[in-house]
Amino acid sequence: MADKQRIIFIEDDGPVRAALTQTLELADLGVTPCHSAEQALGLIVQGLDGIVISDVWLPDMQGDALLRRVRQIDPGIPVILITAHADIGLAVTSMQEGAYDFIEKPFAPERFIESARRALEKRALQLTVADLRGRLAQRAGIEAGRRLLDLAGTDADVMITGETGTGKELAARCLHEASRRCGHHFVAINCGALPENLLESELFGHEAGAFTSAGKRRIGKVEYAHGGTLFLDEIESMPLAFQVRLLRILQERRVERLGSNIAQAVDIRVVTAAKEDLLALCRQGSFRSDLYYRLHVASVALPALRERRDDIPLLFESFLFQAACRHGRDPARSSPALLRELLSHDWPGNVRELRNAAERHALGLPPLATPGSGSQPEALTLAMQMDLVERILIEQALKKHRGQPAEMCAELGIARKTLYDKLHRHGLAIAGYR
C-alpha cells in the first residue's frame, strides 16, 4: 500500500531532511522530500493520496500558515507538524486548526513512523469512503445512499434507523465525510456502553475540582465535536436526566461543563441511531417526546443487507481495502466463486458481518467462517447470479482500466457495442471512472 500513498515531507535543514527521509523509506513508506513550503505546495492537490509532514519553522512560511494553506486545498489531508521548540501554545492552536499531530524534537523514530502510519491509514480510509460515496451516487437503486448525499450538504440533525449491523455508524461517517464539516472531528459515543456515573463527564466535560477525582479540566465529547459531527449511538439508552440536558444543548447549541457557570458555544451536527422504536419508547414514557422530535429533523432508513444484494460486492471491496491497510497487506482480489458465495449468503449480521468476512479474507482465512449456518438465504436463480457476476466483472474492469473502452473490451473479450449495451443495462457510467 505504501507505494500508492506518499508523504510530502518539508524540512529546510538538509542533513535532517535526508535523515528523516531515510527513516521513512526504511519503514517502507513512500516519501517526497521538499526543502521549502513553496516546493511542497506545488505537489499538494485536492484528493492527494497521502499526507504532509512539515517542520514548523521554515524560511518561507511557518508551519501553522502551511497548515491553513493545505486545508484550503483539501481539508481532509492529514498534516503533522514538527518543531524543536517547546511551544505548547502553538501545538494547541495547530491541533485546534486541524493538525493531525504535533511532534516535538528530539523524538524517537518509532514515534515519528507510528504517527505517519496512522495518518496514512486515516487518509486511505477517507479516500475509500469518498470513492465509495461517489460510486454509490451512480447507483440509481440505492435510496439510502442518495438520501445521505442529499442531507450531507445541510446542517440538519439526522436520525439513522435500521437493523443491528446495517452500518449506522458507517452511514454517519459517510454523512460527515461528505459535509463541509469533514475537516473537523467526527465524535462517536455509544450511550449504552457507558455507566451513568461516567456519561455526564464524557458528554459534557468537567472543571478541575468538580468532584473528588476531577484533578484537571476535561473537555466533553459535545465540546470536542465543535465544528464537526457528534454521533450518538443507542440513544434510547440515555437516562431521562441526560435527555433533558441534551435537549437544551440542541436548542441553544451551548454546553456547560460540570462545575462551571459558563456555557461554551458549540457548532455541531448531531446524528443519532437507535436499536429500538423511539416512538414506542416515547409512548411508554422512557424517552422524551420533545427530544425525539428535536432529533428527528431528518431520517435515513438503512435496509438490511439481504435486501440490497447489489451493494455486497462494492461494500466488500471497500472493507477489504480497509482491512489490507490495517494489516499491511496487499488487498486480495475477489474471485467469481467468492462473489457467488457472498451473494448467496443471508447475512443475518448485516454490514457488520460483511466487514468481518472482508477482514478474514484479507488475513487469508475463509470469509464465511461457518458456511451454511443460520437461516436459509433467499433463492437466487442462475440468471440473477450471472447478472450480478457480470456487473461485478464490468465494474472491476472499469476501475482497473479507468474507464478506457478499448482496454476493457480486450480484457472482457467483448465488442465495444456489447460493452456499451451492458453498461447501459447495469446503470454504469464510464465517466465516473476516468
**CATH code for position 48:** 3.40.50.2300
pLDDT category of residue 3 using cuts at 50, 70 and 90: very low
pLDDT at 294: 92
**Maximum C-alpha span of the chain:** 76
Instruction: Collapse the DSSP code of 147 into the 3-class scheme (helix H, G, I; strand E, B; otherwise coil) and give the result.
Output: helix
Q: Which residue would you say has higher pLDDT here, 212 or 169? A: 169
In a shared domain, residues 225 and 340? no
In a shared domain, residues 115 and 202? no
* pLDDT tens per residue, range 200-228: 888 888 888 877 777 788 888 999 999 99
Long-range CB contacts for residues 94-98, cutoff 8 Å, separation at least 24: 94/63, 94/64, 94/67, 97/64, 97/67, 97/68, 97/71, 98/67, 98/71, 98/183, 98/184
What are the backbone dihedrals phi and psi of residue 190, each rounded to the nearest 5 degrees, phi first? Answer: -95, 110
Q: How far apart are the first and last CA of the chain?
A: 21
Q: Which residue would you say has higher pLDDT here, 333 or 306? A: 306
Asked if residue 131 is part of any domain, the answer here is no
Identify the domain boundary among 124, 151, 174.
124
Q: Tell me what percent of the residues of the chain surpass a pLDDT of 70.
A: 90
Q: What gap in Å lies between CA 419 and CA 92, rounded to an integer? A: 55
* pLDDT tens per residue, range 285-313: 999 999 999 998 899 888 888 877 777 88
* pLDDT tens per residue, range 368-389: 865 444 444 455 566 776 777 7
In a shared domain, residues 247 and 178? yes
Instruction: Collapse the DSSP code of 186 into the 3-class scheme (helix H, G, I; strand E, B; otherwise coil) and give the result.
Output: strand
Asked if residue 130 is part of any domain, the answer here is no
Asked if residue 133 is part of any domain, the answer here is no
For residue 226, the 8-state DSSP code is T
Count of CB atoms situated within 10 Å of the CB of 424: 10
pLDDT category of residue 110 using cuts at 50, 70 and 90: very high
In a shared domain, residues 274 and 291? yes
* pLDDT tens per residue, range 13-31: 999 999 999 999 999 899 9
Q: Looking at 208-293, which runs of residues are DSSP E strands?
A: 218-219, 229-233, 254-256, 263-265, 269-273
Identify the domain boundary among 61, 96, 124.
124
Asked if residue 94 is part of any domain, the answer here is yes
Asked if residue 86 is part of any domain, the answer here is yes
Q: Is the pLDDT of residue 2 over 80?
A: no
Q: What gap in Å lies between CA 19 and CA 22, rounded to an integer? A: 5
What pTM was computed for the model? 0.54
Question: Are 72 and 45 spatial neighbours (Cβ–Cβ below 8 Å)?
Answer: no
* Mean of all residue pLDDT scores within the chain: 84
Average pLDDT over residues 188-193: 88
Count of domains for the chain: 3
pLDDT at 369: 62
pLDDT at 373: 44
Q: Tell me what percent of the residues of the chain surpass a pLDDT of 90.
A: 33
> How far, rounded to the nearest angstrom, does the alpha carbon of residue 37 sit from its chain's CA centroid?
28
Which structural domain range is residue 77 located in? 6-124
Q: Which residue would you say has higher pLDDT here, 88 or 153? A: 153
Q: Which three cell numbers stand for residue 190?
A: 455509544
In a shared domain, residues 385 and 285? no
Q: What gap in Å lies between CA 175 and CA 177, rounded to an integer? A: 6
In a shared domain, residues 149 and 265? yes
Q: Which residue would you say has higher pLDDT here, 351 or 223? A: 223
Q: Among 84-93, 123-132, 253-262, name the most confident range.
A: 253-262
In a shared domain, residues 165 and 239? yes
What are the backbone dihedrals phi and psi of residue 292, each rounded to the nearest 5 degrees, phi first? Answer: -55, -50
pLDDT at 135: 57
Helix boundaries (H) for 253-288? 278-284
Q: What gap in Å lies between CA 151 and CA 298, rounded to an integer? A: 8
Asked if residue 230 is part of any domain, the answer here is yes
Asked if residue 96 is part of any domain, the answer here is yes
Strands 298-302 and 186-190: unpaired
pLDDT category of residue 143 using cuts at 50, 70 and 90: low
In a shared domain, residues 345 and 426? yes
In a shared domain, residues 150 and 290? yes
Asked if residue 209 is part of any domain, the answer here is yes
pLDDT at 357: 93
In a shared domain, residues 292 and 167? yes
Average pLDDT over residues 403-428: 88
CA distances 239 to 102, 260, 286, Å, are: 38, 22, 8
Identify the domain boundary among 77, 98, 124.
124
Average pLDDT over residues 139-144: 51
* pLDDT tens per residue, range 53-109: 999 888 888 888 899 999 999 988 999 999 876 566 776 777 778 889 889 888 899
**Is the link from the previous residue into 106 a cis peptide, with omega within 30 of 0?**
yes
Q: What gap in Å lies between CA 231 and CA 50, rounded to an integer? A: 27
In a shared domain, residues 427 and 283? no
In a shared domain, residues 46 and 105? yes
Q: Is the pLDDT of residue 323 over 70?
A: yes
